[in-house]
Amino acid sequence: MAIEIRPITADEVAAFRSVVSRAFGGDAKNDEDSLQRFQDQVELSRTYAAFDDGAIVGTGATFSFDMALPGEVLTA
């Protein structure tokens, strides 16, 4: 069977987070508060997961951040 690569859905956030956590040596708690904090940080359309027979086996994501720089504020 071929590996499917696509963005995750809201129903797949817990599984995605678990794989990311394992890859970076963490132990993701999948309680409601922890999952909500993660979901608040991730934009589903900016995630990619590799699925093998329905299970997530690889992950990637781009996270948006605000950045503050010294100097005057410029507006367009």
* pLDDT tens digits along 16-56: 999 988 888 877 777 888 888 888 889 999 999 999 999 99
pLDDT at 13: 92
Nearest to 61 by CA among 22, 17, 28: 17
pLDDT at 76: 63
In the chain, the amino acid numbered 22 is R
pLDDT at 8: 96
Greater pLDDT, 51 or 64: 51
pLDDT at 46: 95
Q: Is there a contact between 60 and 48 (Cβ–Cβ < 8 Å)? A: yes
Q: Is 31 helix (H, G, I), strand (E, B) or coil?
A: coil
